[in-house]
Structures are given as C-alpha cells and as structure tokens.
Structure 1
Amino acid sequence: MAPPKRKRAEKTSPPLVDPEGMFKGMTVFLVPKGIQNSRLQIWKHKLLQMGAIIEDKFRTSVTHVLGMNLESILQELDIDKLKNFQGNILPYEWLENSLKFGEKVPESSFSLRVPLSKEIHSEIPTTSMKSGILNNDHPHEDSKLNRINSSMENLNHSFGAHKSAEIAGDRGHELSLLYSPPDLNRNITEIFGRLINVYRALGDDRRSFSYYKAIPVIEKLPFKIESIDQVEHLPGIGKALKDHIQEIVSTGKLSKLEHFEKDEKVRTITLFGEIWGIGPATALKFYEKGHRTLEDLSNEKSLSHAQRLGLQYFDDIRAKIPRKQVSEMEMLLTKTGEDILPGVIIVCGGSYRRGKAFCGDLDIVITHPNGISHKGFLAKYVKYLKDIKFLREDLVFSVHSDEGTDSGVDTYFGLCTEPGQEQRHRIDLKVYPRDIYAFGLIAWTGNDVLNRRLRLLAESKGYRLDDTGLFVATQGSPGKRGMKSSATIHCNSEREVFDFLGFPWLEPHQRNL
C-alpha cells in the first residue's frame, strides 16, 4: 500500500515547484543513514519544491551529497567513489539553516572534506569537528567517552537500547556534536556581551535579550563584517543594533558602552549584579547604601549566606570552564550516580550540551527510567559528592519528590571543584520524575532564545510550557495570562515536545539561536 500512496503524492507536487527556487542548479543525493524516513521525505519535498533535482543513486550528474555527517556518508558511499567527486559534500545542518533563513547559506562554512583512504582513521574525528562529528565506535576512542558509553550500555541492557537513548537524549551522539561557528566578528559580539551584563544588572530584560539574540546570528556569519550593508537582512538585527554594528566596524568601539562604563552608578550596579544571588533591586539598594567596590560589600551585614559565598568566590564563578574540564566532571558525576543508583540518567545540559567550547557552569539534569527510583536519590548523591570533596558549598537544596510537591522536582545549587583543585565552579543538580524529564531537559539545555520561542508558541496554541510540563492554559481575565491546568500533556522525549508544538526539531548543538 505504501508505494502507491507515494506515487499519488508525487503527482500533486509539480504545481508547487519553483524552478527558480533557492536550490536551483543543485542535483542532490541524500544519504538516509541516521535520519528518520519521515524527516528525509520532508527534506526531499523541500528541495524539489525549491528547484533542486533529487537522484536516488550516486551518479556523475550529482552536484551535492547531503548526509547526517561525514561518518554516515562514508558508510553509505565508498571513499573511492568520493575522492574524485567534484561537487560539494554537506551535512543536513546546512540544509536546515538554509530553510530556516529562507536563503542558501554559504556552503564553504559547512563543507566536509573527504580524507584520503589512508587518512580515514586518523582524520575523520579531526575533520569532523567543524561539522560536529566524532566517531564513538572505534575501539581506541578516548577513554572518557568509553566510560560514558559503558554506562549507557548498562542502561541499554536494563531498559532497552532504544528507550535509554530516547530518555537520555542519545548522549554518546550528542557529545560529538560541537558548536563551532566561524566567530569572525568577535569585536562586535564581545561588546554586545558586555551590554547584556549592563542591561541585566539594570533590570532591563528586554534590551538585554535583544543583544543576547543577536550574538549567535553574528558569530555564525562566515565573513568579517566590514559594512552595514552585509547585515541588512539578518534575522533578529533591528535598526538600533545595526547602528551599533556600524559604529563598532567604523571606530572599533561603542560610545553607548563607554558611557555606561564611565557612569559610576551603572558601573557599580553592574559589578554587584554579577555576584551570585544579587539581582538588580538588591544591587541598587547596596549602591544607595554607599557601597562602590566588592571590598565595601564584604562588610555588608545584610548579605545572605548564598550572597556571601557568591562574593567570596566572585572571580572563580565568573571564570569560564573549558569544555574538556566539564566533560571530565560529567564523567565523574555519571560514574558516581551509577554507583549509587544503577540505571540513573545523568546529562550535563546548558551550553555544554549545546556544544560550546566554554561553559559558565554545570547544569545537570537527572532522572531514572522506572519513574520511581529517583525519589531520595539527590540526598544520597549530594552526600557522596561532598564526601569525595567534589561538592564544596551549598547555595540551594530543596527536596519535593517524596511529598510530590513542586511537581516532584528535587533541586541542589552549589559550588564544586575538580579533584585536587580549589577553584570553585557553579553547579545545578535537577532531579525530575521520568514523566516530565523531557521538559526539564529542554529547559536546562536552552538556549534562552529557543525556550522563549517555545513558550510563546505554546501560549499561542492555548498551553503553558515550563520545565515541569506542557499544560492546558485556563481562561484568564482580560489582559492577563490564564493559570495552567494541573496535568501535563504526556511527552516521552524532547522530540515529542517539539512535534506536539509543531516546532522544527533541533539537535542540542543547533539550539544556539
């Protein structure tokens, strides 16, 4: 029955084809390995719709080969067929970005180089860094990845390979997908980053968010911005930001930022706002009490225990953590969790899961596949991690899983150190019941732009989305949001949440929007 249905569908598509579409002139061979068939069919339809020709076999007429990554392409096509290929080899990420922006993005920043036959084993991991691929199947893979794979194999044995991958977000695959944009306009993004801190400290979330949205767009550009004309049609870049970019490109600085940094009040509030536990209102209060420096603030008697720790370890907490260190700490956390509770799922979310080279802190999202054993786990976990001197100071510790309050989510915020080190890093541990884990994983992976878009999309469809579920929104009074219902829509995985909302699926490394 399936083949006739596909034939009927194909007969209806020609009227929708735009022969002058953005993929005009492309003859494409699509490598299906690693991609769901339904998604592959959507991409085929989009390519055909926008002017491309699809070949069902790798022929001499092919101009472009698209695949999940270089590894999957080499498994499908013999390297001898590819080494003389004069066309371009691209990951599906290139296609997704082109469809998202409504125009072909430059192929050069995504192009995959095919190694010579003798280089395959040595070069695939290195070459793949740009497109975000490491091969975890080789017996001599990095020992750290092997430890994670070993843990995942234990889970697969207990609960089924498909189920464990679905729950954990296919961690072994995700670890290899690095976010490595060209980042050729750091002169602009660094200034925007400083403005984010200023506006956050001043409590102006709207302006801070506009700069936050702009940074990923700019750092992904495959060219150095030399004229405002080059960014005229970029998404998320309004007139005010374009004017800022023009000034930075022309003068190398931004007068607005210089004005803020010369203003004592703004400078002081921004400084205090970077201390963990101090928000805009509290920072302003301390300024009005006459404090101007961190040393001044150390004598403030009203500081809470958490704020005092934030002040004490101010420089440590602000320092970015290299990805390699985060990976090593995640290994330790995974192994420790498995020792305490076999089968536990522990994933490091945040910028690490999104593939960033540096992280501000560790966001650890935890569950157990059986939906029961997560209860009571956090207290044992925290105690064990303190015993081995990994967790050092507590900031927040709340347990709700036993009573079922607060959606049964257990929380620990604190400071940690690597074994043998004294530098503190911020760490958040969140333990979710299995039935709402997907929502927690999405929220704690981020980024903020994506989370905001998903929340707004949910609201437009009559739902409320947060880290504990997707709820039917009750009717609110005019001009006010309604409350959320008590029961969440059941979604077993992140992908199911995206599908339910009708939002295109994004792998974690694609969520730096």
Structure 2
Amino acid sequence: MNHFTRSTYQMVILCRFTYCPSPMQRILLYQWLEESLRSGEMVSEDLYDLKLDLEKEKTSETPSVPKPADGSVSNGNELSQGGSIRSPPQENAKENNLSEAISSPRISDDSRHSLGSGNASPGLSDITSKDGGLQQSSLIYNPPNLNRNLTEIFGKLINIYRALGEDRRSFSYYKAIPVIEKLPFKIERGDQVKNLPSIGKALQEHIQEIVTTGKLSKLEHFETDEKVRTISLFGEVWGIGPTTALKLYEKGYRTLDELKKEDSLTHAQRLGLKYFDDIKQRIPRHEVQEMEQLLQKAGEDVLPGVVVVCGGSYRRGKASCGDLDVVITHPDGKSHKGFLKKYVKHLKDMGFLKEDLIFSTHSEEGTDSGVDTFFGLCTYPGRDLRHRIDLKVYPREIYAFGLIAWTGNDVLNRRLRLLAESKGFRLDDTGLFPATHGSGGKRGSKGSTSIKLYTEREVFDFLGFPCLEPQERNL
C-alpha cells in the first residue's frame, strides 16, 4: 500500500463516493476511511465493501429488508423456539399475573413503539417500530465466528484488565473481537490480519502466538498469578470495582466463599455475591423477547401509552444477552414522572422483580436530568434463576440519547462521544451539551441545556455520523 497524505485521502473519498453506474463501482463503509486516515495508508477494502448490486436495486420490486452486520436474516423460527411460558404446577396469584402478562395479545408494532403525535413535541411520530427496536428484534446478529479460539482468549483478557482497572487495555481487546468474529475465514497466520481495523502490531503478535501454540503466555501468566487471579475474580462480583477488589485481596481474601464473611460489603455487593453464578449465565434471545413483552404489558397496566424498549445486546440482535437494559419514556413528556415507583411495585407484585441493587428517582424532584433508575434482579417466569435488569426512565425530550447509550455498543458510544467533543459538545445519555473550552488541554465542562433532538436519527445526523440500525452497531 502506498502511503498517502490527507489531500490524497480527500481525493480518494471523492472517487469512492462519486456515483457511477458501473459494475466495477465499490461502495465502502465509512470505517474504511476512518481506519485509512488513522493508519496513514489505504487499508484493505475487502472487509468494508457493501457489495451493492445497483442494477438489481433499481429493478427490484420487493422492499429491502434491513440485514444484521453479518448479512444474515432470521428465518423467523429463531424467536419462537421457546414457545409459550409455562407456569410451575404450584400456581399462585403472582405466577398467574405473570402468565397473563405473557399470554396477552401481542401489542402491534405500530402502537408499541410509536410515541404518537397529537400535542406532543416535534419528532415524536418519528419513533416507530424501526426506532424502538421491535422490528429489529427479528434480525439475529450471530456471525459464524470461525476464530473462537482467539475471541475466547481476548474475552478473558477483557475481564482481567477491567478488574485491574486498566480500561484502555481492556477496550483494545473489546474492539478487536467483533472484527475477528465477522471474518469469513479461519486465521492461520498473524499477517492475515495486518490491515484489519482495531488490530495493531501487539494484537497481531498475540494472534500469531495463539494460532501457532494454541495458547497465550500473557493469559497464562495472569491465570497463575494469585493476586491478578483473585482481583479478577472479585471484580466479577456485581458492585465490586477494581479498588474494592484490591482492598479485599489485601485483607487476605482469596475465594468467594471467604468473601461472604466480610462485614464491609454493601447490600448490593452481598446480592452480587449471593447470585454470582446466576448473573454470569447468559439469557437466550427468545426469553429476553418474552420478558420484554411482559415488561411492556406491565407498563401499560400502570401507565397507558408508556414506551418500554429492551436495548443492549438484545436490540443489537445478539443471540443471547448478559442482562436486560430497559429504556422507558412516555410521549406526553410528563406522565413518566413518578412512574418508576409504581412500575417496580407492580413488577414485584407479579413476582418478576426480586431484589433491588440501586433505586433512585429524580423525575419528581427535577434533579439529575429527571432520569429515574432501578438496577436489580429479576427471574424468567417459572424459574428462580436471577438475571440482572436495569430500568431507566427518561423524559421524552432526552429519550433518544438514552436509547442510543443503552443500545451501545461501547465502541460506538465512545466514537460518538469523541466526535461530539471534536465539534465542541459533550455527549452522554442525558443529552448533547455545548462545551466550554478547557485550559491546559483539559476537557471543558458541559453546558446546562441540551440540544433538542428527538430521535436517534436526528442525533446521528447532527453529529455527522452514519445512522446505523441497531443490529449494525456491533462495531
């Protein structure tokens, strides 16, 4: 590859995106441009080629169906494999409530995620099933992952570095995994990934070692180092961060059973410890879909018209999820106030929510941007196995920001934040704020009022970032 300057790069952009109805034309994803500029040379185009058939698109009479990142589309049976939820033999009132919520008629795509129009704020009618996620839930993001031998080792390193508080190193492996997962071939040499995005020289060397020896010496060192192994284990307990994990190690604790004797643990940390094995189990997609329906029905029982969307890896089309990230709002911009307390009580009465980890309400006090939060544990109807669930209730005017943040993934969220900062803004789940200029190279503080944007598309467009469908956000 020839080294190229910024001016040459700009010419390449023009050539690549100038329309020319030729069979030789190639349309590339924007990441090709981003990675080429970052590396200072034109990286391989093969992994960024959209492979569009322009003539076929012109003549096709069938509307195109959005595809997940790996290009596959669900056959329609993947979401029904769990069938209906059956209550255990010893039925009681709470279990009957759960059964009713599941067996009720499915809310239509249009009514379920549309926020309607009426006297609502501008842009409310734009939140349709496409923006809310129900339509996308049938698109499974499940790449073949021919290189699981690599991604499993990188996944372990992610957890270790997170536990050690080394987020930057953890993030480097996090970015590399989806790139490797999508490859249509099995990696046999490190130089095969030389020009792939998010894989630098160090990761190439790791890959070469793994494909050659079947293991990685760095991981083996961590797994045999008592301190690293213990801190990593404690860091997997919900509510225990790197600092606390280190303190617990220094107190002499080495196992989770020993940790149960520690008096300084908070109530939430004790719950994380008690249900450690439960929380680590992933949830099959069809179960998440059924629980989302339950949550929407329960929300309607408490507040008609409420919008309940399960975000996270579920909304991004993953085949399984680590937890439930639920984003909630109401189209009238005011009825969300005080909703969470009633909603949590109703879900507990139904037997769905079991334990509280964090519960904070700000909508009625007008603090913390008016966002109400519940982090806790829930159960799939008919089982005792605990799953993590987060409920976030946003005022209508900042709902789009919350939906983007809680859909993810982390790579996309970080890119959007950096892009916002480059334009003089600060972005988080509560809005997009004009930022002051910091002194001495430090970040400026964010303003008090967010830019008014009501849909995810408006946020992407304002930042000048391609509007990715949820299943395309597994970057």
Normalization by structure 2: what TM-score?
Answer: 0.81
SS at match of 1:411: strand
Contact 1:390 1:418 in 2 (8 A): yes
Within 5 Å, which residues of 2 pair with 1:119-268? 131-132=72-73, 147-150=105-108, 152-153=110-111, 159=117, 163-164=124-125, 166=127, 169-268=131-230
User: 1:110 and 1:287, CA in 2 relative to 1: closer, same or farther beyond 3 A?
Assistant: farther
For the residue of structure 1 that corresponds to 2:287, the secondary structure is helix
Shift of 1:166: 1.7
Distance in 2 between the 1:293 and 1:128 partners? 40
Of 305, 319, 336, the match for 2:267? 305
1:240-260 CA-partner distances (Å, limit 9, x unpaired)? 110000000001110100010
Moved more, 172-181 or 245-254: 172-181
The alpha carbon displacement at 1:342 in A equals 1.1
Shift of residue 358 of structure 1?
1.2
Q: After superposition, what is the alpha-carbon deviation per residue over 1:62-120, rounded to whole angstroms, capped at 9, x for unaligned?
A: 899x9xxxxxxxxxxxxxxxxxxxxxxxxx9x867777777133989999xx9xxxxx9
Alignment of 1:330 onto 2:292: yes
Matched-pair contact (CA < 8 Å) for 2:194–2:200: no
CA distance in 2, matches of 1:453, 1:147: 40
Show the counterpart of 1:360.
322
Counterpart amino acid of residue 475 in structure 1: H
Separation in structure 1 between the aligned mates of residue 333 and residue 353 of structure 2, nearest angstrom: 26
> What letter is aligned with 2:381?
P
Cα deviation, residue 434, structure 1: 0.4
1:319–1:254 distance in 2 versus 1, CA, 3 Å: same
Give the conservation status (yes or no) of the 8 Å contact 1:228–1:246: yes
CA contact (8 A) 1:125 1:134 kept: no
In structure 2, which of residues 273, 280, 283 is the aligned counterpart of residue 318 of structure 1?
Answer: 280
Q: Is the 8 A contact 1:397 1:413 kept in 2?
A: yes
Q: Counterpart amino acid of 1:286?
A: L
Separation in 2 of the partners of 1:512 and 1:155? 22
SS of residue in 1 equivalent to 2:346: helix
CA distance in 1, matches of 2:255, 2:68: 47
Quote the Cα distance in structure 1 between the aligned partners of 2:229 and 2:12: 56
Residue 378 (1) aligns with residue 336 (2): no
| 2:469 corresponds to | 507
Matches within 5 A, 1:92-131: 103-105=45-47, 131=72
- The alpha-carbon distance between structure 1 residues 108 and 188, as it changes in their structure 2 partners (threshold 3 A), is farther
SS of alignment partner, residue 127 of structure 2: helix
Change (3 A) 1:370 1:474: same
* Contact 2:306/2:331 (8 A) holds in 1: yes
Q: Unaligned regions of 5+ residues in structure 2, if any?
A: 1-10, 36-42, 57-61, 78-82, 85-101
1:153 partner amino acid: S
Q: Which amino acid aligns with 2:430?
A: T
Are 1:128 and 1:134, in contact at CA under 8 Å, matched by a contact in 2? no
Q: Are 1:493 and 2:416 matched, yes or no? A: no
Question: In the alignment, is the contact (CA less than 8 A) between 2:70 and 2:182 conserved in 1?
Answer: no
Which residue identity does 1:166 align to in structure 2? Answer: I
Which amino acid in structure 2 is aligned with residue 215 of structure 1? I
Q: For the structure 1 residues 377 and 17, does the alpha-carbon distance in structure 2 shift closer, same or farther, using more than 3 Å as the test?
A: closer
- 1:406 paired to 2:368: yes
Q: Whole-Å Cα distance in 2 between the matches of residues 376 and 434 of structure 1?
A: 14
Q: CA RMSD in A?
A: 3.4
In 1, distance between residues paired with 2:141 and 2:247? Answer: 39
Q: Which residue of 2 aligns with 1:38?
A: none
The answer on whether the counterparts of 1:365 and 1:429 sit within 8 Å (CA) in structure 2 is yes
AA in 1 matched with 2:47? V
Question: What is the rounded CA distance, in whole Å, between the counterparts of 1:151 and 1:376 in structure 2?
Answer: 26
Tell me which amino acid in the other structure corresponds to 1:132.
Answer: V
- Residue 278 of structure 1 is matched in structure 2 by 240
Which of 425, 428, 434 aligns to 1:472? It is: 434
- Please tell me whether Structure 1 or Structure 2 has the larger radius of gyration of its CA atoms: 1
CA gap 1:99/1:464 in 2 versus in 1, 3 angstroms: closer
Whether 1:347 aligns to 2:289 is no
Q: Among the aligned pairs, what percent are the same residue?
A: 66
Contact 1:346 1:366 survives alignment (8 Å): yes
Cα deviations by residue, 1:11-34 (Å, 9 ceiling, x for unpaired): xxxxx8999x78xxxxxxxxxxxx
- The code of the aligned residue for 1:186 comes to R
Q: For the structure 1 residues 400 and 127, does the alpha-carbon distance in structure 2 shift closer, same or farther, using more than 3 Å as the test?
A: closer
Question: Which letter does structure 1 place at the counterpart of 2:254?
Answer: R
Comparing 348-357 and 97-106, the one that deviates more: 97-106
Contact kept? 2:191, 2:204, Cα under 8 Å: no
Shift in Å, 1:152: 3.6
CA spacing shift, 1:192–1:357, aligned 2, 3 Å: same
2:115/2:331 contact within 8 Å kept: no
Tell me, what secondary structure is at the counterpart of 1:413? strand
Q: Does structure 1 conserve the Cα–Cα contact (< 8 Å) formed by 2:114 and 2:128? A: no
* Residue number among 416, 424, 444 corresponding to 1:454 in the alignment: 416
Contact 2:116 2:124 in 1 (8 A): no
Distance 1:164 1:108 in 2: 31
Distance in 1 separating the partners of 2:327 and 2:465: 23
Query: 1 CA distance for matches of 2:115 and 2:227?
Result: 59
Distance 1:290 1:18 in 2: 58
The structure with higher relative contact order (CA 8 Å, sep 6+) is 2
Decide whether the 8 Å contact of 2:13 with 2:33 is kept in 1.
Answer: no
Structure 1's consecutive aligned runs of 4 or more residues displaced over 6 angstroms after TM superposition are 16-19, 94-102, 106-111, 124-129, 142-146
Pair 338,355 (structure 1): closer, same or farther in 2 beyond 3 Å:
same
- Classify the secondary structure of the residue corresponding to 2:332: coil
Matched, 1:434 2:376: no
CA distance in 2, matches of 1:151, 1:105: 34
Equivalents in 1 of 2:431, 2:392: separation in Å? 15
